[in-house]
A and B are shown apart, each in its own frame.
Chain A
Amino acid sequence: MNVISSTADAKRPGAARIGIGGPVGSGKTALIEALIPVFKARGIEIAVVTNDLVTKEDARRLQAGGLIDPDRVLAVEAGACPHTVIREDPTLNIAAADDLEAAFPDLDLVVIESGGDNLASTFSLDLVDWWMFVIDVAQGDDIPRKRGPGILQSDLLVINKLDLAPHVFVDADAILAEARQIRGTAQVIGCRCKGATVEGIETIADTIAREVLFHEIPA
C-alpha cells in the first residue's frame, strides 16, 4: 500500500537552496557574480548550479572568473527544456545540489541559475526554498505589466540594468513603482550588476540572508 508522504521536504538538513530565473540575458549570471563577494564578506558559504540552455558557458564563466572555487560550480544540461529542469522534473538539479552538499558540508547556500526562459517560468518548491526572477529595464518598460508567473509568483522580483534606463527610453522609477503595485506586498528590488559602480546588490543579499538564512537583518 502506498502512503502519501509530505511533499514539502521542510526538514531537509543542509544548505538552503535558492533559484534565479528570468529571460535570456537579463543578468542572472552577472547578479551571481556580484553577490559572491558580498556573501564571502559575510562568511556565507555558497555553491552554484547552472542550467545553461545550450552549452556550459555560464558554469565555465563562473569557474574561470576567480570569484569562486571552480569545484563549487556544477552545470546541468536542460535537454532543451529550461523550465522542465526547474519545475516539472527537477531531479537532475536536486542531484547536483545534493552532490555539492556532500562535497562541501559547510555550505550555507546553493544557488541554482535557470537557463534563460520566458516570463512563465517558475521553480518547483521540491527544488528550492525560495526563488527570484530577474528582468532588466532594456527588455521594455511593459514587462511587469505583462505579468506572467515569474513576475507574479517569485519571492523577489529583481529589475536589473538600471544604468541602461535612459538609453532605452525607460523611466526606472516608474517601472519599479509599477512592478511594486502589481506584486502587492511581494518584494521588488532594482539593481545594477555591472559597470563602474553596482547598485542594489547589498539589498538583495540582505533579503536572501533574512528570508532564506534567517539572519537578523532589519528590513
Chain B
Amino acid sequence: MTDLRSQLRMLQCCDSAFPSGAFAFSSGLETLVNEGRVKSATDLHQLLDGQVIPRWLDFDRPFLRQAFASAQDPDALYQIDTRCHLQNTVERLARASRRIGRSLLTVHARIATPGAKAYQDHLRANAPPEATGYEPIVQGMLGAGLGLDLSQAEVGALNTVVTGVTSAAVRLGKLGALDAQAVLAAAANAMVAGLSCPAPEYPGAFAPLVEIAAQRRTAEQISLFAN
C-alpha cells in the first residue's frame, strides 16, 4: 500500500504551482510554434510521444535513478551531476535544466527537505554554477529526501516535463486549456509504457527535433520563453 504521506508530498512537489521557474521554459516548443511546425493539439501530442517523453526516458531518467540511490552522499551526487553536464550536448536545454534544478534546491532548502541544504552547500563550496545542479539529479535526491519511492520520483519528474511543455503550448496559443487536458490524458499511454520498461543503463538522448529547435532560436526572435 502506498504511504499517504509520500503521496501527498509528491502531489505538492510535482504541482505546477510549486516554484521552480519551469514555466519560463518551453524546451524548444516556442521555436517549433514560431516556425509553424507545431500548430495543433495533434502536433503537440506527437511531439510529446515522439520527442519529449523519449528524451526524458533515455536521458533524464537514468540520472534521476542514480541520484536517488546516492541521495545521502553529496559528493557522489556531484559526480553524477558532472557526468550529466558532460553528456548534455544541447546547451539551451542544459541551461534550463540547471536553472530549474537550482531553483528546486533553493526552495527545498528553504522548506527543509532532507538533503537539499547539504547538497546546495556542497555545490556552493565546490562546483561552478554553470556545470552542476541539473534537474534530474536534484529531483532524484529530493525524491529520496521526501520519502518517495523510486517509481513515484520518476512519475513525478516525467509528469512535470510533460505538463510543462503542454502548458507552454497553451500560452503560445496553439491549443485551448481544455484541449490540453485531453492531450495530457492521451500522453499518459506513452508515459506508462515508457516507465514500465527498464531504464537504460547508460543515459543517452536522441530527440533532434526539439534539441535543434531549442538551439536554433536567434537573438532577434521575439520570445516569451527562455528556450
B residues 116-133 in Cβ contact with A at 8 Å: none
Q: Decide yes or no: A79 and B110 within 8 Å by CB, A92-B103, A95-B103 being known contacts.
A: no
Among B24, B168, B223: residue with most chain A CB under 10 A: B24
Which residue in A5, A53, A88, A95 is a CB contact (below 8 Å) of B17? A88
Which residue in B102, B112, B114, B223 is a CB contact (below 8 Å) of A77? B223
Contacts of B106 in A (CB 8 A): 91, 94-95
Which residue in B21, B111, B225 is a CB contact (below 8 Å) of A95? B21
**Are B224 and A92 in contact, CB atoms less than 8 angstroms apart?**
no
Is A64 among interface residues, defined by CB-CB distance under 8 A?
Answer: no
Is A197 among interface residues, defined by CB-CB distance under 8 A?
Answer: no
Contacts of B103 in A (CB 8 A): 91-92, 95
Is A81 among interface residues, defined by CB-CB distance under 8 A?
Answer: yes
Q: Decide yes or no: A2 and B111 within 8 Å by CB, A79-B171, A92-B24 being known contacts.
A: yes
**Are B171 and A81 in contact, CB atoms less than 8 angstroms apart?**
yes
**Are B168 and A79 in contact, CB atoms less than 8 angstroms apart?**
yes
**Are A77 and B110 in contact, CB atoms less than 8 angstroms apart?**
no
Is B194 among interface residues, defined by CB-CB distance under 8 A?
Answer: no
B residues 1-35 in Cβ contact with A at 8 Å: 17, 19-21, 23-26
Contacts of B23 in A (CB 8 A): 79, 81, 84-85, 89
Which residue in A5, A7, A77, A88 is a CB contact (below 8 Å) of B225? A77
Contacts of A7 in B (CB 8 A): 110
User: Which bracket fits the contact residues of A?
Assistant: 20 to 34
Q: How far is the CB of B137 from chain A (nearest CB, A)?
A: 17
Q: How far is the CA of A173 from the CA of B201 in the complex (A)?
A: 71
Is B184 among interface residues, defined by CB-CB distance under 8 A?
Answer: no
Q: Mark A63-89, 1 if CB is under 8 A from B, else 0.
A: 000000000000011111100110011
Q: How far is the CB of B213 from chain A (nearest CB, A)?
A: 16
Is A3 among interface residues, defined by CB-CB distance under 8 A?
Answer: yes
Contacts of A177 in B (CB 8 A): none
Is B99 among interface residues, defined by CB-CB distance under 8 A?
Answer: yes
Is A90 among interface residues, defined by CB-CB distance under 8 A?
Answer: yes
Q: Decide yes or no: A5 and B24 within 8 Å by CB, A53-B224, A54-B222, A95-B103 being known contacts.
A: no
Is B113 among interface residues, defined by CB-CB distance under 8 A?
Answer: yes
Which residue in B24, B111, B113, B222 is a CB contact (below 8 Å) of A79? B24
Q: How far is the CA of A11 from the CA of B102 in the complex (A)?
A: 21
Q: How far is the CA of A162 from the CA of B168 in the complex (A)?
A: 39
Q: Decide yes or no: A80 and B19 within 8 Å by CB, A5-B110, A95-B99, A95-B103 being known contacts.
A: no
Is A187 among interface residues, defined by CB-CB distance under 8 A?
Answer: no
Q: How far is the CB of A101 from chain B (nearest CB, A)?
A: 13
Which residue in A4, A5, A91 is a CB contact (below 8 Å) of B20? A91
* Closest B residue by C-beta to A5: B112
B residues 173-227 in Cβ contact with A at 8 Å: 222-226
**Are B112 and A80 in contact, CB atoms less than 8 angstroms apart?**
no
Give A residues with C-beta under 8 Å from B. 2-5, 7, 53-55, 76-81, 84-85, 88-92, 94-95
Give B residues with C-beta under 8 Å from A. 17, 19-21, 23-26, 99, 102-103, 106-107, 110-114, 168, 171-172, 222-226
Jot down 9 A-B pairs with beta carbons below 8 A, ordered by A.
A2-B112, A7-B110, A54-B222, A55-B223, A76-B24, A79-B171, A85-B24, A89-B20, A91-B103
